[in-house]
Amino acid sequence: MREDLEELKQRISLLEYLQRRNWTARRVGSRQEFVGFCPLHAENRPSFYVNARKNLFYCHGCERGGDLIRFVELSEHLSFRESLAYLKQHMAAPAEPELLDQTAAFYQLQFHRYPEAIEYLQQRGLRDPVLIEELAVGYAPGGNLRRHLVDRGYSFDLLLRTGLINSQGRDAFCRRVIFPCRQQGRAVNLYGRSIGVAFPHRLLPRSKGDLFAWESVGAFPTVILVEGLFDLAVLWQAGFRNTTCAIGTHLTPAQLSQLGDQPGRRIYIAFDQDPNQAGQQASRLLAQRLESAGLKACIVALPPGHDPNSYFMAGATAADFLNCLQQAQSL
């Protein structure tokens, strides 16, 4: 029981647990401390603090604090024992680290069997077979994941809870090109880009994890941040291996602190140039946050209507993009 408890606490970070429940926070003071609105009481000034390293929270408003289990007791109104069971059940996915790896590997095998997937990648300008292999790009033709995983001993229930299949047992990622999001070599989430009429973007209902490929990108003193994985893929293909991606314009507090893990780092924000200015606005907000965290942020202006992916598709070269980087403006 005691060992169980320690293992559970180590496996699930309080910060990640809160983020999965859409808690938004900003970093304060030291790198590991975050503050946001208290999920336990109504308030109009953020007074809920989380120390990510110690895995502890404290709210100055309702004066309650403790560890993850204490948080579940308070937020779900459960006893200690019930909270443990709750965490085990609801966070079952991390207990099955191989599940996402197996899914990613399965989809990667499918990829080569379905010409529509390969065609879609070519359409988006991703041609380098070595890079496609490195990114472990996969494809979900739909309808066959469940059988594959159930044969390997995973329960229908777990697959459903993880969000890999729907209640009819069909692949939730049906007709999507899949990019596994990996940390320390393990898949922590899957991103699926629809090649048909379905909503373009899909992630599993769990943390996005680290910035994409941060283990390699984090070593660079200069980093290019893009919105989408196809932006990242074409930039990597063009030689800009210092490109990372948060899948969208919103960075989690943990991802923000990754950008700040090297003092003086310069970050080029290359978001979409949207007609409604959404990408541009997100760039400015993010640049302000980064600057106030002591980083150097520059906003890369691409031709109107373009994102890095479409820019390359329209014929831009690595030299053209480099030119955009050189002309990038700080705030």
Which residues here bind Zn ion, judged by CB under 5 A?
Answer: 38, 40-41, 59, 61-62
Supply the minimum distance, in Å, between the C-beta of residue 271 and Zn ion. 34
Nearer to Zn ion, 64 or 241 (CB): 64
Helix (H, G, I), strand (E, B) or coil at 94: helix
Q: Which is nearer to Zn ion, 38 or 137 (CB)?
A: 38
Burial 276-303 (b: 16+ CB within 10 A, else e): eeebbebbbebbebbeeeebebbbbebe
Spatial strand order in the sheet of 222-226: 243-245, 222-226, 266-270, 296-299, 329-330
Phi, psi of 252 (to 5 degrees): -75, 160
Give me the least distance between CB of 28 and Zn ion, in Å please.
Answer: 16
Task: Quote the least distance from Cβ 37 to Zn ion, whole Å.
Answer: 9
Rg for the chain, CA atoms, rounded: 21
In sequence order, the β-bridge partners of residue 65 are 58
Nearest 5 degrees, angle CA 126-CA 130-CA 133? 85
- For Zn ion, which is the closer residue by CB, 61 or 142? 61
The CB-of-52 to Zn ion minimum distance in angstroms stands at 18
Residues 6+ apart with CB under 8 A from 276: none
Shortest Å, Cβ 62 to Zn ion: 3
Question: Rounded to whole angstroms, how far apart are CA atoms 83 and 22?
Answer: 20
Location of structure tokens 């990622």: 173
Quick one: 59 or 269, whose CB is closer to Zn ion?
59
Q: Are 232 and 245 in contact (CB under 8 A)?
A: yes
Contacts of 187 (CB under 8 A, 6+ apart): 100, 101, 103, 104, 180, 181
CB nearer to Zn ion: pick between 24 and 89? 24
Shorter beta-carbon distance to Zn ion: residue 36 or 192: 36
| Minimum CB distance to Zn ion, residue 5 (Å) | 24
Closer residue to Zn ion, CB minimum distance, 59 or 223: 59
Least distance to Zn ion from the beta carbon of 58, Å? 9
